[in-house]
Amino acid sequence: MIGRKPNAGLGGSDAEAKAPSNAAPLLKVSSLGAGYGGMPVLREVSLEVDKAEIVALVGSNGAGKTTLLRALSRVIGSTGTIEFAGRDLSPMTPDEAFGAGLVQVPEGRQLFDRMTVEDNLLMGAYRRGAGRAIGRDLERIYGLFPRLGERRRQLAGSLSGGEQQMCAMARGLMAAPVLLMIDEMSLGLAPVVVEQLMEVLAAIRKDGVTILLVEQDVHLALSGADRGYVMETGRIVHHGAAKDLIDDPEVRRAYLGL
Amino acid sequence: MSAARIGLCALAVAVLAAAPWFGSDVLVQFGINALLLAVLAQGWNIIGGYAGYASFGNSVFYGLGSYGVAIAMVQWELPFAVGLAFGVAMAVAFAFLLGLPVLRLKGHYFAIATLALAQVMIAIVSNVELAGQNIGLVLPPLNNDPLFYELALGLLVLATLTVYWLTKSRFGFGLIAIRENEEAAAVMGVNTTLYKVLAFALSGVLCALAGGIHAYWITFLDPESAFDISLNVKMIIMAVFGGPGTVLGPVVGALGLSVVSEVLSSEVTSLASLFFGLVVVAAVVLMPRGLADVVRRFRKSGWRYFAENIRAHRI
Amino acid sequence: DDIVLGASVQMTGSSANTGRYYKDAYAFAIEKINAAGGVSVGGEKRKLALKIYDNQSDVNLSVRQYTQLVAKDKVALLLGPFASNFALADSAVSEKYQVPMVQGGGASDQIFSRKFKYIFGTLAPASNYFGSTVKMLKELQPAPKTVALLYADDAFDVSVAEGTRPLLKEAGFDIVMDEKYSSNASDFNSLLSQIKSNSAEVVLVAGHETEILNFVRQAKSLAVAPKMYSFTVGVPSEDFRKALGADADYAFGMTAWLPSAKLKDRWFGDAATFAKEYKAKFNYDPDYHAASGAADVEALAQAIENAGDTDPAKVRDALAKLNFDSLYGKIAFGENGQIDLPQTVIQVQGSELKAIYGPDGLIEKPKYPMPAWNAR
Amino acid sequence: MSTILEISHATRRFAGLVAVNDVSFTLEEGEILGIIGPNGAGKTTLISLISGTLMPSSGDIVFEGQSVAGLPAYRRARLGIGRTFQIMRPFPGLSVLDNVAVGALFGRNEGSLAEARERARGHLDFVGLGRFASQRADELGGPGRKRLELAKALAMRPKLLLCDEVMAGLNHVEIDEVIGVIRKLRDSGISILVIEHVIKAIKSLSDRLLVLHHGVKIADGAPDAVLADRAVIEAYLGKRRA
Amino acid sequence: MNLLAQILINGVLLGGLYAVMALGLALVWGVLNIVNLAHGAFIMLGAYLSWHLYSYLGIDPFLGLPLTAVLMFALGYGVQRGLLNLVVRAPMFNTLLITFGLEVVLTYLAQLAFSADFRTINPPYAGNSIALGPLALPQARLMAFGVALALTAAMWAFLLRTRLGRAIRATAQNLTAARLYGVEPRHLYAVTFGIGIGLAGAAGGLYGTVSQINPYIGATLTAKCFAIAIIGGLDNPLGVLVGGLVLGIIESLAVLYIGATFGDVASFGVLVAVLIARPSGLLGKTA
Ligand SMILES: Nc1ncnc2c1ncn2[C@@H]1O[C@H](COP(=O)(O)OP(=O)(O)OP(=O)(O)O)[C@@H](O)[C@H]1O
Ligand SMILES: Nc1ncnc2c1ncn2[C@@H]1O[C@H](COP(=O)(O)OP(=O)(O)OP(=O)(O)O)[C@@H](O)[C@H]1O
Ligand SMILES: CC(C)C[C@H](N)C(=O)O
Ligand SMILES: [Mg+2]
Ligand SMILES: [Mg+2]
Q: Which pLDDT tens digit goes with each residue over C83-112?
A: 988 998 899 999 989 999 999 999 888 889
The per-residue pLDDT of chain C, averaged, comes to 92
Residues of B with CB under 8 A from a CB of D: 168-170, 173-174, 176-177, 180-181, 183-193
| Residues near ligand 5 ion, CB 5 Å cutoff | A 160-161; D 43-44, 86
E55 touches chain A (CB under 8 A): no
> Looking at beta carbons, which residues of chain E come within 8 Å of C17?
116-118, 214
Do E and A touch, 3+ Cβ pairs within 8 Å? The answer is yes
Q: Is residue B163 a contact partner of residue B247, using CB atoms and an 8 Å limit?
A: yes
> Looking at beta carbons, which residues of chain B come within 8 Å of D123?
none
Residue C156 Cα to ligand 3 midpoint, Å, equals 6
Task: Please tell me the CATH code under which domain D3-80+158-241 is placed.
Answer: 3.40.50.300
E276 part of a folded domain: no
Residue B126 Cα to ligand 3 midpoint, Å, equals 19
**Interior angle at CA B288, CA B166 and CA A71, nearest 5:** 110
E107 part of a folded domain: yes
Q: Is residue C287 a contact partner of residue C255, using CB atoms and an 8 Å limit?
A: yes
Do the chains contact at C182 and B123, CB–CB below 8 Å? yes
The per-residue pLDDT of chain E, averaged, comes to 89
Host domain of residue E179: 21-124+136-217
Q: Would the CB of D141 count as within 6 Å of ligand 1?
A: yes
Mean pLDDT score, D132-143:
89
Select the residue of E174, E235, E285 nearest A110 (Cβ to Cβ). E174
Whole-Å CA distances, B98 to B223, C203, C226, D151: 19, 40, 44, 37
pLDDT above 70 covers a percentage of chain C that reads: 100
Select the residue of C153, C193, C209 nearest E10 (Cβ to Cβ). C193
Select the residue of D74, D89, D105 nearest B170 (Cβ to Cβ). D105
User: How confident is the model over D151-190, as pLDDT tens digits?
Assistant: 999 999 999 999 999 998 888 888 888 899 899 999 999 9
Residue D188 is predicted with a pLDDT of: 92
Select the residue of E14, E131, E264 nearest C189 (Cβ to Cβ). E14
User: How many cross-chain Cβ pairs, B to D, lie less than 8 Å apart?
Assistant: 80
Q: What is the residue type of D160?
A: L
User: How confident is the model over E222-265, as pLDDT tens digits?
Assistant: 988 988 888 887 778 888 999 899 889 998 998 888 888 888 78
Segments making up each domain of chain B, as ranges: 24-245
More confident residue, B5 or C203: C203
Q: Would the CB of D19 count as within 6 Å of ligand 2?
A: yes
Q: How many separate domains does chain E show?
A: 1
- Give CA–CA dist D234/D236, Å, rounded: 6
E190 part of a folded domain: yes
Do the chains contact at C12 and E111, CB–CB below 8 Å? yes
- What sign results for the dihedral spanned by CA atoms B226, B227, B233, B238? positive
C174-211 burial code (b ≥16 CB/10 A, e <16): ebbbebbbbbbbbbbbbbbbbbbbeebbbbbbbbbbbb
Segments making up each domain of chain D, as ranges: 3-80+158-241, 90-157
Eight-state DSSP code of residue D197: S
Task: Return all residues near C318 (Cβ < 8 A) that are at least 6 apart.
Answer: C302, C303, C304, C306, C307
E96-109 burial code (b ≥16 CB/10 A, e <16): bbbbbbbbbbbbbe
Pairing of strands C228-231, C202-206: parallel
pLDDT above 90 covers a percentage of chain D that reads: 77
Neighbouring CB atoms inside 10 A of D187's CB total 9
Predicted ipTM of the assembly: 0.87
CA E20 to chain centre: 5
E238 part of a folded domain: no
Using alpha carbons, select from C118, C84, C126, C82 the residue that is nearest to residue C102: C118
The pLDDT-based confidence of A18 (bands split at 50, 70, 90) is very low
E14 part of a folded domain: no
Q: Is residue D147 a contact partner of residue D127, using CB atoms and an 8 Å limit?
A: yes
Q: Which residues pair with D219 in a beta bridge?
A: D211
- Give CA–CA dist B274/A118, Å, rounded: 47
Using alpha carbons, select from A157, A160, A230, A224 the residue that is nearest to residue A197: A224
Q: Tell which of E104, E115, E211 to mutate to test the C interface (max C CBs under 10 Å).
A: E211
The pLDDT-based confidence of E285 (bands split at 50, 70, 90) is low
E55 part of a folded domain: yes
Using alpha carbons, select from C249, C272, C259 the residue that is nearest to residue C376: C249
E59 part of a folded domain: yes
Closest chain D C-alpha to B167 CA, distance in angstroms: 9
Ligand 3 pocket check: which of C90, C123, C237, C328 to mutate, most ligand atoms within 8 Å of Cβ?
Answer: C123
For D18-78, give the DSSP string. EEEEEEEEEEETT-EEEEE-STTSSHHHHHHHHHTSS--SEEEEEETTEE-TTS-HHHHHH
E110 part of a folded domain: yes
Select the residue of A36, A66, A189 nearest D39 (Cβ to Cβ). A189
**Helical H runs in B169-271?**
170-180, 182-187, 192-218, 223-226, 229-242, 249-267
User: How confident is the model over C147-173, as pLDDT tens digits?
Assistant: 999 999 888 898 899 999 999 999 999
Pairing of strands C146-152, A39-49: unpaired
Residue B222 is predicted with a pLDDT of: 87
E261 touches chain A (CB under 8 A): no
Which of B272-281, C300-309, D179-188, E278-287 shows the lowest mean pLDDT across its residues? E278-287
Our CA dihedral for B47, B53, B54, B58, rounded to 10 degrees, sits at -40
Atom index in ligand 3 nearest the CA of residue C232 equals 1
- Give CA–CA dist C2/C48, Å, rounded: 5
Closest C-alpha residue for ligand 1 atom 25: A61
User: How confident is the model over C321-357, as pLDDT tens digits?
Assistant: 999 999 999 999 998 999 988 899 999 998 889 999 9
Residues of C with CB under 8 A from a CB of B: 11-13, 53-54, 56, 59-61, 63-65, 67-68, 70-72, 85, 88-89, 92, 95-96, 108, 110, 113-114, 153-155, 157-159, 180, 182-183
**Interior angle at CA E240, CA E239 and CA E244, nearest 5:** 120
